[in-house]
Amino acid sequence: MSNNYKIVADQSCPKCHHRLRLAAALGGDGGAPNEGDPTICWYCGEYMIFDANLVAQTMTTDQWNALSQGIKLELTCAKHRIKRDV
């Protein structure tokens, strides 16, 4: 089994409030996340970004605008897959 995730402190999605215990960064190597890495809630599709404590926070417009086009595309595609599967 690949170790491309990290167990994070118990937290909830800031939008849908589903419990989040595992986290993975999107883009790059897809490994365990670091501060500033973008991610998405796999329940509702909320775009989030990890803070210094690896707590996922809702992504601001400025943070979204700072992402590369490739990461934006990856997040958008993931959100469409989530919405399709719900």
The full set of domain ranges for the chain reads 6-81
CB 13 within 8 A of CB 59: no
Instruction: Classify each residue of 18-39 as buried b or exposed e, where b means 16 or more C-beta atoms within 10 Å of its C-beta.
Output: eebeebebbbeeeebbeeebbb
Task: Report the share of the chain in percent with pLDDT over 70.
Answer: 77
Q: Does the pTM exceed 0.85?
A: no
pLDDT(2) > 50 = no
Model confidence pLDDT, tens digit, residues 16-53: 999 887 766 565 555 678 889 888 888 899 999 989 98
**61/54: higher pLDDT:** 61
pLDDT for the residue 1: 35
pLDDT for the residue 30: 57
What is the mean pLDDT of the segment spanning 73-77?
92
